């Protein structure tokens, strides 16, 4: 499913709202499913495990993807104040397509920023987890660090970097 938005109107809260709106059924089902153990064991340990699981699932997995895509949008907005972006949701990925031209340098910058910033956030969470002795927070940090995998070319960010490099070489007469 594709939707087009003016790039200058996409704040973090707007992007979060778009993600929640698209995945609301999945979110509701996951929350309800993860609360089922409370029917069997209604003690503080079970509540603690469920809360930790929700922190990892939503604070780690869901929010890290929202931040990842928002960083792309933020740097697209820095590159071009006017214009639109198309956000596509499929079963296996989320893609953002600018509806304006970018230079190869801008493409690389937009593609690489989340790959740099999210692991930094993850390392900060891992350090915090070490300091306060919370393993679930450490695991959440690893989810953020794992976003570095997006630099691999079969994935979207890696492909954009390769395309920008090849485009730059061909425009310089090297292709």
Q: Tens of pLDDT along 7-17? A: 988 999 999 99
Residues 69, 94 contacting (CB under 8 angstroms): yes
Torsion of CA 39, 27, 17, 1, to 10 degrees: -160
Name the residue range of residue 51's domain: 2-171
pLDDT band at 175 (very low <50, low <70, confident <90, very high): very low
- Does 68 have pLDDT greater than 70? yes
Phi, psi (deg, nearest 5) at residue 86: -105, 125
**What is the spatial distance between Cα 153 and Cα 156, in angstroms, rounded to a whole number?**
7
**Do 161 and 151 contact (CB within 8 A), yes or no?**
yes
- Give me the number of domains the chain comprises: 1
169 band by pLDDT with thresholds 50, 70 and 90: low
> Distance between CA 128 and CA 116 in Å, rounded?
19
Question: pLDDT at residue 42 above 90?
Answer: no
Percent of the chain exceeding pLDDT 70 equals 95
pTM of the model: 0.85
Is the separation of the CB atoms in 83 and 98 below 8 Å?
Answer: yes
Q: What is the token pair recorded at 68?
A: 């990842």
Place of tokens 């930790």: 52
More confident position, 127 or 134:
127
């Amino acid at each position: 499913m594709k939707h087009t938005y003016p790039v200058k109107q996409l704040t973090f809260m707007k992007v979060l709202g778009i993600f929640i709106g698209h995945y609301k059924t999945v979110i509701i089902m996951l929350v309800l499913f993860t609360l089922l153990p409370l029917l069997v064991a209604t003690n503080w340990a079970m509540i603690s495990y469920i809360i930790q699981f929700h922190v990892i699932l939503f604070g780690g997995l869901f929010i890290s993807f929202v931040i990842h895509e928002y960083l792309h949008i933020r740097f697209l907005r820095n590159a071009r104040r006017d214009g639109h972006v198309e956000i596509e949701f499929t079963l296996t990925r989320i893609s953002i397509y600018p509806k304006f031209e970018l230079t190869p340098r801008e493409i690389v910058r937009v593609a690489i920023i989340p790959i740099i910033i999210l692991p930094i956030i993850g390392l900060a969470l891992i350090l915090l987890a070490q300091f306060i002795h919370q393993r679930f927070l450490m695991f959440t940090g690893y989810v953020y660090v794992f976003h570095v995998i997006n630099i691999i070319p079969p994935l979207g960010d890696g492909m954009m970097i390769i395309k920008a490099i090849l485009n730059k070489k061909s425009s310089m007469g090297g292709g």
